[in-house]
A = this chain, B = another copy of it.
Amino acid sequence: MSRVISLAVIPGDGIGPEVVAEALNVLQAATDGGDAAFDTTQYALGAARYLATGDTLTDEDLAAVSQHDAILLGAVGGTPGDPRLAGANIERGLLLRLRFALDHYVNLRPSVLFPSVPSPLADPGDVDFVVVREGTEGPYVGNGGAIRVGSANEVANEVSVNTAFGVERVVRYAFAAASARPRKKLTLVHKTNVLVFAGGLWKRIVDEVASEFPDVTVDYLHVDAATIFLVTDPARFDVIVTDNLFGDILTDLAAAISGGIGLAASGNINPDGRFPSMFEPVHGSAPDIAGQGIADPTAAILSVALMLDHLELPEAADRVRRAVVADVAERGEGHRSTSEIGAAIVDRIRAH
């Protein structure tokens, strides 16, 4: 009898539903006839839902989504500057709430420059690294506040909270990931010379966990220097481990140099398995191109591959990745529609 995996699907806003539709077709093709079947439930969450009902993510929504084995998310967020969204913060209220509530302490973002894919770098070299971004702490905790708001005497603070518990679990995950890769190299990125408290904690934990992984080579870069290496020598990186905010910044830059945000996949992972992990393209809802059927679904499709890895379906994951690599290798200047790209990848999977 086949294993049934229950999948929550959050198509979201803008191009989200468009790319998710293709991703689900690919998931179907890659798992057809295998011994896992996906039972999907769609959740209408995002700016559209907020505009319709005033709700961002209710406790009931959260409880329902949490019941599933995994979550596939398209993109959430309305049109920037939409006055009807002024009181909402879809990012904090929905996306970050899910990441925090479901204890997604590993935000996994691979960067691979596939053959034939153009890079803005003149000489990118062999780009193949993964960023392990912490997902539940740091400057993202929402632990800020402001006084005298709107006045000339306003003070607005943001607190970055870092715990040994939180840092150690993500650092250990990153070491294990490095140890499983051929080059076995881990780079801690922080700003220890300025953020001495948080940086000191990260440095100490990396030094301590390093002793458990003698096969892994460790180095350290300040975040500013890391951006330089990402454009001058990205091939130097294997596994990067860093905090939530630095990881946000570095992974957009990493996506840009390795073929663009249209190809960048991510997993918000709860390695303990206590909560479902959530897979999503790094890109946003891109309201400016929504509804035209021109969004590139590749990042969402590669996010399905990450999900299949996580669900321990490596053969299905490989099928998806091989089809994507073959497809992108043949992309010329011509523009295909969202569904053409999705269909081409599905066809490649079915042809094998």
Interface of A toward B, CB cutoff 8 Å: 89, 91-92, 96, 119-123, 139-140, 142, 144-146, 148-165, 168, 191, 193-198, 200-201, 204, 223-225, 227-228, 230-232, 245, 248-249, 251-253, 255-257, 260-261
A228 partner, pick from B123, B146, B252, beta carbons under 8 A: B252
Pick the residue among B154, B224, B260 that contacts A248 (CB under 8 A): B224
Of the candidates A156, A197, A232, the one having the most CB atoms from chain B within 10 angstroms of its own CB is: A156
Residues of chain B within 8 A (CB-CB) of A194 are 91-92, 96, 139-140, 245, 248
Contacting residues, chain B, for A161 (C-beta < 8 A)? 155, 157
A197 x B261 contact (CB < 8 A): no
Q: A146 to B231, Cβ gap below 8 A? A: no
Known: A144-B195, A158-B162, A194-B245; 4 extra A-B contacts, CB below 8 A, are: A153-B163, A153-B164, A158-B198, A228-B252
Chain B residues positioned under 8 Å from A92 (CB to CB): 193-194, 196
A123 contact set on B, CB distance < 8 A: 120
Q: Which 3 A-B pairs have the closest CB atoms?
A: A224-B252, A144-B197, A227-B253
Q: Would A121 and B228 be within 8 Å (CB), given that A92-B196, A155-B163, A201-B154 are in contact?
A: no
A231 touches B228 (CB 8 A): no
Quick one: given A144-B196, A249-B223, are A158 and B157 in contact (CB under 8 Å)? Answer: no
Q: A194-B92, A231-B257 given as contacts; is B163 within 8 A of A154 (CB)? A: yes
Q: Is the CB of A248 within 8 A of B160?
A: no
Given A92-B194, A245-B191, A228-B255 contact (CB < 8 Å): yes
Highest count of chain B CB atoms <10 Å: which of A119, A162, A165: A162
- Residue on B with the closest CB to A261? B228
